[in-house]
Amino acid sequence: MKVGILGLGTVGGGVVNVLQKNSKSIKRRTGVEIELVIAGVRDISKKRICDTKKIHLTEDPFEVVNHPDIDVVLELIGGFGLAKELVEKAINNGKHIITANKALIGNHGNELIKLANKKKVRFLFEASVAGGIPIIKALEQGLSANNVESVAGIINGTGNFILTDMKEKGRDFNDVLKEAQALGYAEEDPTFDIEGIDAAHKLSILAAIAFGTEIQFDKIYTKGISNISTEDILHATELGYTIKHLGIAKRAENGIELRVHPTLVPNNKLIAQVDGVMNAVMVKSDALGTSLYYGPGAGDEATASAVIADLNDIINNQTSNHTLGWKSQQKIKVVDNNSIHSEFFLRLLVTDVKGVLAKVTGIFNDHNVSIEALIQKQVDENNNAHIAITTDKVSTKTVMSIKDKIEASEFNQADVQIIHIELLD
């Protein structure tokens, strides 16, 4: 099997290293020799994490996709401009595609998979979701007897790495982000990680596989972790929760819920214990029940593990795969975020004067919303108090109306923070 690689960075370098060090066991499974013939990079003189002596390096990525000997192209460049052009060219040249690029699939997956079907080549992307965890193969193959009810998980390693260190070590957001970048976890543009865009790309893929819908990245309600503060983490901890950034896809009466946002998770749930760069995806399905998939969500060899598993699929011509099943994908309606019901956490900064608590709780009462728990702290020399409140299940529209009322009141001192709670029962 002759393979061409686009990109020899974190993931591409990891693929070369794992193919070299595990060549015997990989051959035992695939039954063939995998030969890395050519690799396209931006700068040929750059120092690599892998040995490239036996690979022809080129700064012209089209040399890879046009190479006559290549059967499979691994797209490990990232982005969705040049990467799309290269993948289209490779498919049109009859090459199978393996990619780790969720941005490419989130934005152009529907058309690329249709093209791959038309050209009768495989288009596989296990590494695009949750790094090394074989979650796509689990949903497609392991759970093929099930109707999936929901998928909820931590699907961005960088975001989880930041939230974990903020909570455990009280570290500064930007310091931890820099460390995640140095470790090769973050996207080229890290706002994709911290603003939830990367998780939304991944959720669009998970939902497509789980529910048989087309990729609907542009319909996902997306919120990142950039406005999560130490105060939020401290108050959530005191109330018995951990803040995690979750991607959630759920069957609803009139369609599917698709949302990505910071979420308070009860401390006694397994997902609350998933720390650092680790990811975890919880799937609820009718025959199996609840199952949880856990492992490294980013990193060179972890991600390479998923890329090479796709190579094995192509070599062994596994029948269950994203390309072949795609013909039946439909556009399932995505439920409007305002009508979604959830428990919520609200954090307020108010003037600590007599009767303020009654006024705050009065606003909840006026909206017919029950308060589950409330803590108040005197925090600063300006006589302001932090109040943290958790609610019963309520629509997003209602909680936003409560936020507006509080923010318009004379006692309010700062924007009201609102974070979803998921009980994961």
Q: How many residues bind ligand NAP (CB under 6 A)?
A: 27
Q: Pick what 349 binds: ligand NAP, ligand HSE, none; C-beta below 5 to 8 Å, kind-dependent.
A: none
Task: Verify binding: residue 196, ligand HSE, rule CB under 6 A.
Answer: no
Residues 6+ away with beta carbon under 8 Å from 416: 346, 347, 348, 403, 406, 407
Task: Verify binding: residue 41, ligand NAP, rule CB under 6 A.
Answer: yes
Short-list 291, 294, 260, CA closest to 280: 294
Residue ranges in 254-313 that form contacts with ligand NAP under rule CB under 6 A: 298-299, 303
Task: Verify binding: residue 159, ligand NAP, rule CB under 6 A.
Answer: no
Q: What is the nearest approach in angstroms of ligand NAP to the Cβ of residue 102?
A: 6
The tokens for 24 are 């015997």
Task: Verify binding: residue 125, ligand HSE, rule CB under 6 A.
Answer: no
Among 4, 36, 61, 310, binds ligand NAP (CB under 6 A): 61
Q: Which residue has the tokens 């099997």?
A: 1
Is 263 in contact with 231 (CB distance < 8 Å)? no
Task: Compute how many other C-beta atoms are within 10 angstroms of the C-beta atom of residue 111.
Answer: 12
Among 164, 297, 385, 390, binds ligand HSE (CB under 6 A): 297
- DSSP annotation of 35: E
Q: Pick what 11 binds: ligand NAP, ligand HSE, none; C-beta below 5 to 8 Å, kind-dependent.
A: ligand NAP
Stretch that binds ligand NAP, among 71-79, 326-334, 371-379, 406-414 (CB under 6 A): 71-79
The tokens for 258 are 């698709």
Handedness of CA 79, 64, 111, 16 (dihedral sign): negative
Site mask, ligand HSE, residues 137-176, x = CB under 6 A?
-------------------xxx------------------
CA distance 162 to 404: 30
Task: Verify binding: residue 310, ligand HSE, rule CB under 6 A.
Answer: no
CA distance 377 to 71: 64
Task: Compute how many other C-beta atoms are within 10 angstroms of the C-beta atom of residue 23.
Answer: 12
Q: Which residues pair with 373 in a beta bridge?
A: 390
Task: Verify binding: residue 46, ligand NAP, rule CB under 6 A.
Answer: yes
Q: HSE-up of 93 (CA within 13 Å, CB side)?
A: 21
Q: Pick what 295 binds: ligand NAP, ligand HSE, none; C-beta below 5 to 8 Å, kind-dependent.
A: none
Q: Which of 137, 202, 269, 403 is catalytic?
A: 202
Q: Pick what 158 binds: ligand HSE, ligand NAP, none; C-beta below 5 to 8 Å, kind-dependent.
A: ligand HSE
Q: Which is nearer to ligand NAP, 9 or 262 (CB)?
A: 9
Q: What is the nearest approach in angstroms of ligand NAP to the Cβ of residue 180?
A: 10
- How wide is the angle at C-alpha 395 spanned by C-alphas 394 and 396, nearest 5°? 120
Q: What is the nearest approach in angstroms of ligand NAP to the Cβ of residue 32?
A: 25
Pairing of strands 255-266, 221-222: parallel
- Give the helix ranges, DSSP H, for 31-101: 61-65, 82-92
Q: Pick what 61 binds: ligand NAP, ligand HSE, none; C-beta below 5 to 8 Å, kind-dependent.
A: ligand NAP
Is 202 among the residues known to form the active site?
A: yes
Task: Verify binding: residue 208, ligand NAP, rule CB under 6 A.
Answer: no
Among 24, 43, 68, 408, binds ligand NAP (CB under 6 A): 43
CA distance 90 to 346: 50
Q: Which residues of 188-198 are buried (b: 16+ CB within 10 A; e: fewer)?
A: eebebbbbbbb
Q: How many residues bind ligand HSE (CB under 6 A)?
A: 11
Q: How far is CA 104 from the centre of its chain?
A: 14
Stretch that binds ligand NAP, among 29-37, 184-192, 341-349, 395-403 (CB under 6 A): 184-192
Angle (deg, nearest 10), helices 356-366 and 396-407: 150
Could you list the residues that contact ligand NAP (CB under 6 A)? Answer: 7-12, 40-43, 46, 61, 76-78, 82, 100-101, 127, 131, 184-185, 187-188, 298-299, 303
Active site residues: 202
Site residues, ligand HSE (CB under 6 A)? 131, 156-158, 185-187, 193, 198, 297-298
